[in-house]
């Protein structure tokens, strides 16, 4: 049985993961409208990953006698000043999610909730990957800038991402 404090925070994390999915889907739509289908594909795949994260927590709550309480998802930003700005936001968002996951781990430790602590280790590892991936794309976008042949080559590469 989940402690009510942990259940509440896990439900909040479901909302955060669903917002992440929604945010990346909005960014994907932006790139698609800009004619950069590879970046749109990369962000669409990222959106799908975030849905998987939300469902892992959803299932965990249900499997441990808790109750999932879905909340409204905030509206994501719809336009950006530059492509670099988008990936700066992706990295900052992933860093925020990392902090939230760390807070959940801290709460599990405080509550002596070993099962949730073990469950959350997957997310800790996943966030290292998520931040690294966002940092790599940001560095490459900063390198090529917001236009030109380099951007188109990078767009083709981003389109090759598999979920």
C-alpha 72/C-alpha 105 separation (Å) is: 24
Q: Which one, of 126, 66, 76, lies nearest residue 101 by Cα?
A: 126
Q: What is the pLDDT of residue 112?
A: 98
| Cβ contacts of 157 within 8 Å, gap of 6 or more | 38
Q: Burial code of 85-104, b = ≥16 C-beta within 10 A, e = fewer?
A: ebbbbbbebbeebbebbeeb
pLDDT above 70: residue 163: no
pTM of the model: 0.94
Q: Which one, of 151, 133, 153, 130, lies nearest residue 142 by Cα?
A: 151
- CB-CB contact of 151 with 45 (8 Å): no
CATH homologous superfamily for the domain 4-158: Ferritin, core subunit, four-helix bundle (1.20.1260.10)
DSSP state of 79: -
Region 107-119 average pLDDT: 98
Task: Indicate the range of 53-67, 68-82, 89-103 predicted with least confidence.
Answer: 68-82
Region 92-116 average pLDDT: 98
DSSP state of 81: S
Tokens at 115, concatenated: 């099962």
- CB-CB contact of 23 with 30 (8 Å): no
């Amino acid at each position: 049985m989940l402690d009510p404090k942990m259940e509440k925070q896990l439900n909040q994390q479901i909302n955060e993961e669903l917002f992440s999915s929604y945010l990346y889907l909005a960014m994907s739509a932006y790139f698609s409208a800009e004619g950069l289908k590879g970046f749109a594909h990369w962000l669409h795949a990222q959106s799908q990953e975030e849905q998987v994260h939300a469902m892992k927590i959803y299932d965990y709550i249900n499997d441990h006698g808790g109750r999932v309480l879905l909340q409204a998802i905030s509206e994501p930003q719809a336009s950006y000043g530059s492509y670099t700005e988008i990936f700066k936001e992706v990295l900052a968002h992933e860093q925020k999610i990392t902090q939230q996951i760390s807070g959940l781990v801290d709460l599990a430790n405080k509550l002596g909730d070993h099962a949730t602590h073990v469950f959350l280790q997957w997310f800790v590892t996943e966030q290292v990957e998520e931040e690294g991936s966002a940092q790599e794309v940001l560095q490459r976008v900063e390198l090529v800038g917001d236009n030109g042949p380099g951007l188109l080559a990078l767009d083709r590469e981003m389109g090759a991402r598999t979920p």
